[in-house]
Chain A
């Protein structure tokens, strides 16, 4: 008779589970971001810089100079990275599902983020999208770091702002000498999705009991040089469109750099 009791309990458990409160509205990426004690986690540390100096917001002591020689300060610096993949030593690619990270220079907690459930192994490189993939960019209402309330979403031309830099420069001809660089757009001919890839300086080992970490240096100066040297007197405002493509082409190479990996 014991088995009947077991079946009874099982049936009850399954039924209760099936009728539990619906879970389809839970943010999908929470599953990845929450830490599960047993599976190794990988920490991403973001260090925002302007060339060889730390990036400090709203600070008259931190006046930077762009490649064109225009002085500026930074008041906002936010960006998304997503669709992170790790490349194994043997060349295999490991896709980290639902990896969407929003970094805000004004929020120190966002500078260190952990992704859990990382398949153990030895990795030689990382690749990710600077911004949000086209599919998710045009999906319905999201939550978590993709909540439109996070200030990184355009409501009039829906889609995410991939990189947002605001500041001031005496060279800017805009009202109050403002600099407004909101880079986004995922459709031709103004697609600003760019992919970053870099081989690590040495192997990243992910295994239980270790605390692997990727240190990324994020250089805001990269927005304003490269293919197009930006003169703030002629380009000080963009919210998508051709000028955003210029900036994205600029930062595709220089915005991110893997400074170190730790095991």
Chain B
């Protein structure tokens, strides 16, 4: 009898301690079948639905900018695959113009380095520049943390996610990484094509474009991420007005080099290049075909024999553009989870 009571008591006590658990459910990182394992390890920042929601709320909250007018979502628009549609360079507070094109945000967990020059070496630290740059959100971590501490709802959410209502920059950055790291784009028609899934058929034109791509573009824009994550001078300028990667490494050989951008969702992320100088894919391809400028660090892959660049006739360009359209992930840009919550 006493034994039964004891067992019951155990059960009840165990039950009570389970009720103590905050209503947080862990989330699974959506590893695409055709991708390598990610670089960022969420074991250091356990993914939960509450953490993801908090990250999303921070991402879309203008409170993070100096004058509370701009959120991360201003320059990283979900309908443009989190790039900044029609903006050559980012626009900060007080209409301040930056110097580089806001990169799209997706598949960040596969990146070791961030930004056009690779200056940021960890996904959790990637928002710092935009948050504090006087020409972007122009705020400071102390200000952001102080505002969040007194903003209704936030301490409770941090409590749910992190186990105490304490708000500090580490928690803000980890929550943001729970949102930005989950921006996985791997459901384009191309992906269904290579995974042999329904809806993955290519037209003859797209198939031809894929062949051109594999022959002429795939070394730098390596599948499946469509970038080899290296830094290259792709012949934009012979004199480098923006030193690019050299700013970070202090190596003359890195002058004028920028990170090879992914071609995923490329049809959505106009304008192109680090300074947004090209507004259409046609212009970009024409640049590779006939617009090369021979700076001291021009990539050797763009110097074959006596010819600079990549010979692409009209048909090849047309086919390539058809193929590039298959890299648009419409499920990604319409995914309600990634949009501001009502």
When the two chains form the complex, which single residue of B17, B119, B132, B170 contacts A147, counting CB atoms closer than 8 Å?
Answer: B170
Contacts A8-B10, A25-B163; is A19 near B145 (CB within 8 Å)?
no
CB pair B168–A140 under 8 Å, yes or no, is: no
When the two chains form the complex, which single residue of A23, A141, A158, A241 contacts B174, counting CB atoms closer than 8 Å?
Answer: A141
Size category, B interface: 35 or more
Interface status of A7 (Cβ within 8 A of chain B): yes
Give, as a whole number of angstroms, the nearest-CB distance from B89 to chain A: 15
Q: Mark A62-100, 1 if CB is under 8 A from B, else 0.
A: 000000000000000000000000000000000000000
CB pair B168–A16 under 8 Å, yes or no, is: no
Within B120-139, the residues touching A (CB, 8 Å) are 120-125, 128-129, 131-133
Within B237-256, the residues touching A (CB, 8 Å) are 247-251
Within A22-70, the residues touching B (CB, 8 Å) are 22-25, 27
Contacts A8-B10, A138-B122; is A156 near B129 (CB within 8 Å)?
yes
In the bound complex, CA of A147 to CA of B142 (Å): 10
CB pair B45–A149 under 8 Å, yes or no, is: no
CB pair A143–B170 under 8 Å, yes or no, is: yes
Interface status of A108 (Cβ within 8 A of chain B): no
Contacts A1-B3, A15-B17, A140-B124; is A21 near B173 (CB within 8 Å)?
no
Nearest B residue to A138, CB-CB: B121
Contacts A4-B2, A12-B17, A22-B46; is A155 near B162 (CB within 8 Å)?
no
Instruction: Pick 17 A–B contacts, CB within 8 A, sort by A.
Output: A7-B6, A8-B13, A19-B17, A19-B18, A21-B164, A22-B46, A22-B163, A25-B174, A140-B45, A141-B122, A141-B125, A141-B170, A148-B125, A149-B168, A153-B128, A157-B119, A157-B247
CB pair A140–B122 under 8 Å, yes or no, is: yes
CB pair A21–B163 under 8 Å, yes or no, is: yes
CB pair B122–A139 under 8 Å, yes or no, is: yes
When the two chains form the complex, which single residue of B13, B121, B129, B170 contacts A159, counting CB atoms closer than 8 Å?
Answer: B121
CB pair B247–A1 under 8 Å, yes or no, is: no
Interface status of B141 (Cβ within 8 A of chain A): yes
Give, as a whole number of angstroms, the nearest-CB distance from A156 to chain B: 5
Chain B residues near A23 (CB-CB < 8 A): 163
CB pair B6–A1 under 8 Å, yes or no, is: yes
Contacts A147-B170, A149-B140; is A7 near B10 (CB within 8 Å)?
yes
Interface status of B277 (Cβ within 8 A of chain A): no
CB pair B14–A147 under 8 Å, yes or no, is: no
Chain B residues near A21 (CB-CB < 8 A): 22, 163-164
In the bound complex, CA of A190 to CA of B247 (Å): 12
Chain A residues near B115 (CB-CB < 8 A): 156
Contacts A8-B10, A157-B247; is A140 near B123 (CB within 8 Å)?
yes
Chain A residues near B133 (CB-CB < 8 A): 155-156
Give, as a whole number of angstroms, the nearest-CB distance from B40 to chain A: 8
In the bound complex, CA of A202 to CA of B177 (Å): 49
Interface residues of B (CB under 8 A from A): 2-3, 6-7, 9-10, 13-14, 17-18, 20-22, 44-46, 115, 119-125, 128-129, 131-133, 140-142, 145, 162-164, 168-171, 173-174, 177, 247-251
In the bound complex, CA of A189 to CA of B173 (Å): 30
CB pair A11–B10 under 8 Å, yes or no, is: yes
When the two chains form the complex, which single residue of B7, B9, B10, B250 contacts A189, counting CB atoms closer than 8 Å?
Answer: B250
Give, as a whole number of angstroms, the nearest-CB distance from B310 to chain A: 32
The B contact surface, by secondary structure, is helix
Nearest B residue to A6, CB-CB: B6
CB pair B169–A140 under 8 Å, yes or no, is: no
Residue in B14, B21, B142 with the greatest tally of chain A CB atoms within 10 Å: B14
When the two chains form the complex, which single residue of B20, B46, B121, B251 contacts A19, counting CB atoms closer than 8 Å?
Answer: B20
Chain A residues near B248 (CB-CB < 8 A): 157
CB pair B169–A148 under 8 Å, yes or no, is: yes
In the bound complex, CA of A190 to CA of B125 (Å): 21
Give, as a whole number of angstroms, the nearest-CB distance from A136 to chain B: 11
When the two chains form the complex, which single residue of A16, A149, A189, A242 contacts B20, counting CB atoms closer than 8 Å?
Answer: A16
In the bound complex, CA of A1 to CA of B9 (Å): 13
Other A-B contacts than A15-B14, A15-B17, A25-B162, 12 sampled, CB-CB below 8 A, are A1-B2, A4-B7, A19-B21, A141-B122, A141-B174, A143-B170, A147-B141, A148-B128, A155-B132, A156-B120, A158-B120, A242-B250
Give, as a whole number of angstroms, the nearest-CB distance from A102 to chain B: 15
CB pair A11–B14 under 8 Å, yes or no, is: yes
Give, as a whole number of angstroms, the nearest-CB distance from A240 to chain B: 8
In the bound complex, CA of A189 to CA of B249 (Å): 8
Contacts A11-B13, A16-B17; is A25 near B170 (CB within 8 Å)?
yes
Nearest A residue to B112, CB-CB: A138
Nearest B residue to A17, CB-CB: B17
Contacts A8-B6, A11-B13; is A155 near B125 (CB within 8 Å)?
yes
Give, as a whole number of angstroms, the nearest-CB distance from B258 to chain A: 15
Interface status of A142 (Cβ within 8 A of chain B): yes
CB pair B250–A158 under 8 Å, yes or no, is: no
- Counting from the closest, the 7 A-B pairs by CB-CB distance are A21-B163, A149-B141, A141-B173, A140-B124, A155-B128, A143-B170, A4-B6
In the bound complex, CA of A1 to CA of B2 (Å): 7
Give, as a whole number of angstroms, the nearest-CB distance from A122 to chain B: 38
In the bound complex, CA of A141 to CA of B164 (Å): 18
Chain B residues near A143 (CB-CB < 8 A): 168-170
Chain A residues near B22 (CB-CB < 8 A): 21
In the bound complex, CA of A15 to CA of B145 (Å): 33
Chain A residues near B2 (CB-CB < 8 A): 1, 4
CB pair A140–B125 under 8 Å, yes or no, is: yes
In the bound complex, CA of A19 to CA of B19 (Å): 10
